[in-house]
Amino acid sequence: MKIKIHKTYRTVVAICDSDILGKCFEEGIELLDIRENFYNGEEIEEDRLVEQMIDLAKEDATFNIAGSSSVQAALKAGIIDKEGIKTIQGVPFALVLI
- pLDDT at position 9 is 86
- pLDDT at position 59 is 87
List 30's β-bridge partners, or say none.
27
- pLDDT at position 68 is 98
The per-residue pLDDT string of the chain (98 residues; one tens digit each, 9 = 90 and over) reads 999 999 988 899 999 999 999 999 999 999 999 999 999 999 999 999 999 999 999 988 999 999 999 999 999 999 999 999 999 999 999 999 86
- pLDDT at position 88 is 97
- Is 2-96 a CATH 3.40.50.740 domain? no
- pLDDT at position 6 is 96
Cβ proximity of 78 and 54 under 8 Å: yes
Q: What is the dihedral of CA 48, 49, 51, 56, to 10 degrees?
A: 140
- pLDDT at position 40 is 97
- Provide the pairing of β-strand 30-33 with 42-43: unpaired
Q: What pTM does this model have? A: 0.94
Residue 9: helix, strand or coil by DSSP? coil
DSSP E strands in the chain: the ranges are 2-7, 11-16, 24-27, 30-33, 42-43, 62-66, 86-88, 91-96
Question: Domain extents for the chain?
Answer: 2-96
